[in-house]
Structure 1
Amino acid sequence: MKSIKVFVFSLVSILTCFINTSTAQWIKISNGIGDQNIYSFASSGNNIIAGSYGGGFLSTDNGNSWTNKLILPNHYIWSLAVNGNTVFGGSDNDLGLYISSDFGSNWIHSSLDSHVVYSLVSSGNNIFAGTDRNNIGTGVYFSGNNGVSWNQTTLNNKSVRSLAVNGNKIFAGTSFSSTDYGVFLSTDNGASWNITSLSGQTVYSLVFNGNRLFAGTIGNAVYYSDDNGSTWTQTFVPGQSVYSIAVSGNNIFAGTYQSGVYQSANNGSNWSNANTGFPNGISVYSMCIFNNYIYAGTLGQGVWRRPLSEVVGIHPTSTEVPENFSLSQNYPNPFNPSTKLGFGISDLGYVSLKIYDVHGREVAVLVNENLSPGSYEFEWNASGFPSGVYFYKLQSGQFSETKKMLLTK
């Protein structure tokens, strides 16, 4: 009898281990969308949209099923951007821009006909579109009325593959041309542009994490700048082509050509692959972080997903809904190099958890997303930061609280 009990226990342990291992990986979620090329994502509330060859696909159940709401046979949705409930979809030649006022359920054709709209970004009521036309380069267009009308900016002779906005600064990543190309900067809504020191690079992705700007390039991996493009540092694997970048706290994800997803847990200093569950040689063209998942849009293999908690420092510690928002004292404190920050969320909504130095400068963004009610813990690795006093601040809705911690090395 004892041997039978031991056997049963061992079998249960093996099955449990197998189940845990099998779920800690990328899972394909292409029901209704198939093995499409996925070029872009946008998300808001409980909805996520994937832009692909054939149109725009909407999911309301975290990607478990998809419905084509913007049917464009033989055409692409290269880019997507959200402003409130309004979604902008950038298509290819002859079609230009589409707009949905009900987050992707219904669409109307708007403007920018005969343009390929490779990139879109919104900032308040301002929308910027990075375009091309017949490979001659048509640059950046600007709308100050939520897409009703558009004007071409003075960056009008480049193929613009990526855009990013930080305050009054607009960055445009361009592709190869016979003249200057790389990352351009405007501080006056596109009235004038100057190329940054990242020149001679084809830039497919631009993403801010706090005040650090990441640029994903073709053939030269990832660069970052902490001074609005005046200087750049190359990181990641030289020779790699990076199509897309997504951020969650200090975690940076790079979607690559034929090498899947790479991750940095320290804001771009070091990288490792995060490809468990992916087939070999997969190309990840787009990424999105939404509802505690990270989504990967691939070339020819549809949409994939995995829980964000598997690959980042934030972990739910309880699903019981707290009565109030709360921020706990970090532990250990003092610490070197890692510490844990606990907090409670009483209502569904946008949550930010940020780190500041003793001068009040934002130095790290740990959480910047919608979270469900519950208790959470984030482990912050400060190996790339100097010793000293730091402050961490939790904000959600009307709640805001700040605490102090000490890093000693």
Structure 2
Amino acid sequence: MKTFIKILIVISLNLIFIANAFSQSGWVNQTFGTRKYITINYINSLTGYIAFDDKKILKTTNLSLNWTVLNSNILLDATVIDAQFYNDNVYAFLFGGIIFITSNAGLTWNQGNIFPVGNGYVYLYAIDLLNSQTGYVCGADFGIGDYLDGIIYKTTNSGVNWFQSARIGFYYTDIKFIDENTGYATNGSVIKTTNGGINWGYIGSVNYLVLSISLPSSDTIYMCGKEGKIHRSISGGVNWTTFQTAGNDTLKDMHFANAKTGYAVGDSGVIVKTTNAGENWTLQFTGTTKNLKSICFINKDTGFVVGDSGIILRTYTGGVMVNVNNESELSPENYSLEQNYPNPFNPATLIGYNLDVRSFVKLTVYDILGNEVVTLVNKKQEAGRYQVRFEAGIKNQSANLPSGIYFYSMFADGKYIDTKKCLLVK
């Protein structure tokens, strides 16, 4: 009996933690460990990756409910400069002048070395994977005395070979492509290609060091960097407007979820947001002063930030503080997820939900550890009220589930709606 009570207490504590994670608003701190996180990428609405500075990887398959530590199996004794995760199998790490790309989730790696022209060294700042075969890196060649060359290299075979795409200007701190032909590289001065890196040309500049670039459309470009400055071009990089955000902290990364809604993160825990295409930027409360390094959004409201000292922040409300006691403010007004009935249940229960507009609905059940049990709904549905049966014991759903607490989460058009708990008692 004492053992049973102890188990219930442990389950209850886990439940409180997970339920609070879904119900809180603004930015929620989910610090994990003490290492520096370099980048975060989500490859779909549930699965995300974080790269450590020491080559380890964090992975989530349930929208950051919990994270699993993975080893990259890279034996190089060096610190990660940048990383990118294209899908579950293809990702890349940068170490100074060395690039590692895997096509099989880290079982094997293709290593590329970019060598200086002279006796100096190469330093690569950023990578952009366009698909499983094609990618670009940018940085600087400190190869000839004190002279500095900006360099861009390209691979078309998953990092087996790299060839020089550009040697122009000074160093480049970031590179982004809109499609396989059109891309930009910058450090404040901006160069552009429209033929897949065959030719690059100078198109414009701003008078500040830039560390990150975001491309919400082919002609609209945003950049951020030193002194809290954000720069916008709506002419494909020819003309620029500079906006001063709150404070002078360096902004290190930015992401636009759509044409109007964008975010930038930086030192001292700074996150700023625009909802009017960069005309105004609002400082958001993060509850941390740690330096923030990377930001990723899967829609305009659901996003994640990582940085120094194991800091992970997440939001389901676009970083906006709302009244946590008012549940209707936490979910879009066009959707609602109902409590299952009966609850507790054995062996089956009904879960209801409402749609005011036609949507692609995903309804998934998780166990207490956040592992996915079964996806009950995964399709486009017309407006209306629906019920789906969750049965613990049939082969095509969730046979032989043990007694315990489970969660079911609803997403509509890729956006998180709500999570509720249910109790299976056998």
TM-score between both structures, scaled by the size of structure 1: 0.65
CA distance in 1, matches of 2:378, 2:43: 11
Which residue of structure 2 lines up, in the alignment, with residue 245 of structure 1?
A: 254
CA distance in 2, matches of 1:315, 1:129: 40
Alignment of 1:27-42 (within 5 A): 27-31=28-32, 34-42=33-41
The answer as to 2:265 corresponding to 1:255 is: yes
Query: What is the DSSP-based 3-state SS (H/G/I as helix, E as strand, rest coil) of the residue aligned with 2:215?
Result: strand
Do the aligned partners of 2:249 and 2:270 also contact (CA within 8 Å) in 1?
Answer: no
Query: What is the DSSP-based 3-state SS (H/G/I as helix, E as strand, rest coil) of the residue aligned with 1:57?
Result: strand
Do the aligned partners of 1:90 and 1:117 also contact (CA within 8 Å) in 2?
Answer: no
Q: Identify unmatched segments of 5+ residues in structure 1.
A: 1-18, 175-180, 329-341, 352-370, 379-409
What is the CA-CA distance between 1:245 and the residue it aligns to?
0.3
Do the aligned partners of 1:137 and 1:160 also contact (CA within 8 Å) in 2?
Answer: no
Do the aligned partners of 1:50 and 1:57 also contact (CA within 8 Å) in 2?
Answer: yes
Tell me: CA distance 1:262–1:223, structure 2 relative to 1, closer, same or farther (3 Å). same
Tell me: CA distance 1:107–1:160, structure 2 relative to 1, closer, same or farther (3 Å). farther
Which residue of structure 2 lines up, in the alignment, with residue 232 of structure 1?
A: 240
The answer as to 2:102 corresponding to 1:93 is: no
Which residue of structure 2 lines up, in the alignment, with residue 129 of structure 1?
A: 137
Which residue of structure 2 lines up, in the alignment, with residue 267 of structure 1?
A: 277
The answer as to 2:158 corresponding to 1:158 is: no
What is the CA-CA distance between 1:57 and the residue it aligns to?
1.1
Q: Structure 2 counterpart of 1:139, which letter? A: I
CA distance in 1, matches of 2:175, 2:103: 22
1:149 corresponds, among 161, 184, 200, to: 161
What is the CA-CA distance between 1:88 and the residue it aligns to?
3.1
The answer as to 2:58 corresponding to 1:58 is: yes
Do the aligned partners of 1:343 and 1:377 also contact (CA within 8 Å) in 2?
Answer: no
Q: Structure 2 counterpart of 1:184, which letter? A: I
Cα deviation 1:297-331 (Å, max 9, x = unaligned): 1133432222245549995423489999x9x8xxx
TM-score between both structures, scaled by the size of structure 2: 0.63
What is the CA-CA distance between 1:217 and the residue it aligns to?
2.1
Which residue of structure 2 lines up, in the alignment, with residue 209 of structure 1?
A: 216
Alignment of 1:167-246 (within 5 A): 167=179, 168-174=181-187, 182-211=189-218, 212-219=220-227, 221-237=229-245, 239-246=248-255
What is the CA-CA distance between 1:39 and the residue it aligns to?
1.9
Cα deviation 1:117-164 (Å, max 9, x = unaligned): 321113344311113355844511012233332111223563221111
What is the CA-CA distance between 1:109 and the residue it aligns to?
4.3
CA distance in 1, matches of 2:378, 2:150: 39
Which residue of structure 1 lines up, in the alignment, with residue 374 of structure 2?
A: none
Query: What is the DSSP-based 3-state SS (H/G/I as helix, E as strand, rest coil) of the residue aligned with 2:49?
Result: strand
What is the CA-CA distance between 1:170 and the residue it aligns to?
1.2
Which residue of structure 2 lines up, in the alignment, with residue 396 of structure 1?
A: none
Alignment of 1:43-54 (within 5 A): 43-45=42-44, 46-54=46-54
Do the aligned partners of 2:100 and 2:159 also contact (CA within 8 Å) in 1?
Answer: no
What is the CA-CA distance between 1:54 and the residue it aligns to?
0.5
Q: Identify unmatched segments of 5+ residues in structure 2.
A: 1-19, 116-121, 322-328, 339-350, 363-376, 381-408, 417-426
Do the aligned partners of 2:82 and 2:95 also contact (CA within 8 Å) in 1?
Answer: no
Query: What is the DSSP-based 3-state SS (H/G/I as helix, E as strand, rest coil) of the residue aligned with 2:72?
Result: strand
Q: Which moved more, 1:220-229 or 1:190-199?
A: 190-199
- Higher gyration radius (CA): 2
What is the CA-CA distance between 1:254 and the residue it aligns to?
0.7
Query: What is the DSSP-based 3-state SS (H/G/I as helix, E as strand, rest coil) of the residue aligned with 1:346?
Result: strand
Do the aligned partners of 1:286 and 1:296 also contact (CA within 8 Å) in 2?
Answer: yes
CA distance in 1, matches of 2:41, 2:21: 30
Tell me: CA distance 1:187–1:376, structure 2 relative to 1, closer, same or farther (3 Å). closer
Q: Which has the higher contact order (CA 8 A, sep 6+)?
A: 2
Which residue of structure 1 lines up, in the alignment, with residue 367 of structure 2?
A: none
Q: Which moved more, 1:61-70 or 1:264-273?
A: 61-70
2:290 corresponds, among 282, 289, 293, to: 282
Q: Structure 2 counterpart of 1:28, which letter? A: N
Query: What is the DSSP-based 3-state SS (H/G/I as helix, E as strand, rest coil) of the residue aligned with 1:219?
Result: helix
Tell me: CA distance 1:106–1:315, structure 2 relative to 1, closer, same or farther (3 Å). farther
CA distance in 1, matches of 2:330, 2:202: 37
Tell me: CA distance 1:169–1:20, structure 2 relative to 1, closer, same or farther (3 Å). closer
The answer as to 2:126 corresponding to 1:119 is: yes
Query: Which structure's residues are more often strand, by fraction?
Result: 1
Which residue of structure 2 lines up, in the alignment, with residue 139 of structure 1?
A: 151
What is the CA-CA distance between 1:40 and the residue it aligns to?
1.4
Which residue of structure 2 lines up, in the alignment, with residue 106 of structure 1?
A: 107
Q: Structure 2 counterpart of 1:65, which letter? A: W
CA distance in 2, matches of 1:60, 1:141: 31
Tell me: CA distance 1:373–1:26, structure 2 relative to 1, closer, same or farther (3 Å). closer
Q: Structure 1 counterpart of 2:263, which letter? A: F
Percent of pairs identical after alignment?
14
Tell me: CA distance 1:170–1:375, structure 2 relative to 1, closer, same or farther (3 Å). closer
What is the CA-CA distance between 1:194 and the residue it aligns to?
2.2
What is the CA-CA distance between 1:165 and the residue it aligns to?
1.3
Q: Structure 1 counterpart of 2:230, which letter? A: V
CA distance in 2, matches of 1:53, 1:173: 23
Do the aligned partners of 2:55 and 2:71 also contact (CA within 8 Å) in 1?
Answer: yes
Cα deviation 1:75-108 (Å, max 9, x = unaligned): 33322334454433232236x1122224x45352
